[in-house]
């Protein structure tokens, strides 16, 4: 047991709590792995739990619906990136281009199916656009992604590599919108985003 600052004692988690948390984490990992295979609409709960050792009952113990599960999977996918900005700092970039390249390399390592998730989120939005109870948390997630990305823009602004006539948050929103557009073009038409880094630098370079 661990003593808290207020004098109370925190009991260690029970075996049931540990097992429950592991089951939930395993299901989220299955969602990250399996949604990209068939897409959001094409992936059923049975597809998620198949050959995993878990049942539909286990799924519904932790999640009320496929929609709620998908939103939780998006949060888990975000968490898989970890503190990517520390990797960028450790790379010691010397220019806007090298900072962007370091971030892009880390995203590719932690989220190799990033372009595919662009389409999955679009599918989810198309299916639930009139349900504000589902769209509100998705918009919140988008805001969190932009805030996370704005760290990179603040970092480059502080080093004099990035324009400062617009806020880091505004630039992050534009950067994410551009990335989303390229991701859709890749998924729909197979267009390789060779010019993406050039578009980034043209948007961000000092004015």
- In this prediction the pTM is 0.88
Q: Degrees (nearest 5) of the Cα angle 6, 11, 16?
A: 145
- Residue 157 and residue 199 in contact, taking contact as beta carbons nearer than 8 Å: no
Burial call 7-44: b when 16+ CB within 10 Å, e when fewer: eeeeeeeeeeeeeeeebbebbbebbbebbbeeebeebe
Q: Which two tokens stand for residue 90?
A: 């450790």
Beta strand ranges found along the chain (DSSP E): 2-3, 9-10
Instruction: Compute CA distances 10 → 7, 18, 21, 38, 110, whole Å.
Output: 10, 15, 18, 43, 34
Q: Degrees (nearest 5) of the Cα angle 145, 147, 148?
A: 65
Query: Could you read off the pLDDT tens digit of each residue along the chain, which spans 207 residues?
Result: 555 566 666 677 788 788 999 999 999 999 999 999 999 999 999 999 999 999 999 999 999 999 999 999 999 999 998 999 999 999 999 999 999 999 999 999 999 888 899 999 999 999 999 999 999 999 999 999 999 999 999 999 999 999 999 999 999 999 999 999 999 999 999 988 889 999 999 999 999
- Residue 1 and residue 9 in contact, taking contact as beta carbons nearer than 8 Å: yes
pLDDT tens readout for residues 181-194: 999 999 999 988 88
């Amino acid at each position: 047991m661990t003593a808290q600052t207020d004098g109370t004692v925190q009991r260690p988690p029970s075996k049931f709590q540990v097992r429950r948390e592991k089951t939930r984490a395993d299901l989220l990992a299955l969602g990250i792995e399996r949604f990209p295979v068939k897409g959001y609409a094409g992936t059923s709960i049975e597809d998620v739990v198949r050959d995993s050792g878990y049942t539909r009952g286990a799924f519904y113990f932790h999640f009320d619906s496929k929609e709620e599960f998908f939103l939780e999977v998006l949060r888990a996918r975000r968490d898989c990136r970890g503190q990517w900005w520390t990797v960028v700092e450790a790379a010691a970039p010397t220019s806007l281009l090298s900072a962007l390249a370091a971030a892009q390399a880390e995203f590719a390592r932690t989220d190799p199916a990033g372009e595919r998730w662009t389409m999955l989120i679009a599918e989810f939005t198309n299916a639930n656009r009139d349900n504000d109870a589902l769209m509100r948390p998705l918009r919140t997630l988008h805001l969190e992604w932009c805030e996370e990305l704005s760290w990179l823009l603040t970092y480059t602004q502080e080093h004099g590599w990035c324009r400062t006539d617009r806020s880091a948050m505004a630039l992050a929103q534009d950067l994410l919108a551009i990335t989303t557009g390229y991701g859709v073009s890749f998924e729909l038409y197979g267009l390789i985003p060779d010019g993406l880094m050039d578009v980034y630098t043209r948007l961000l370079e000092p004015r």
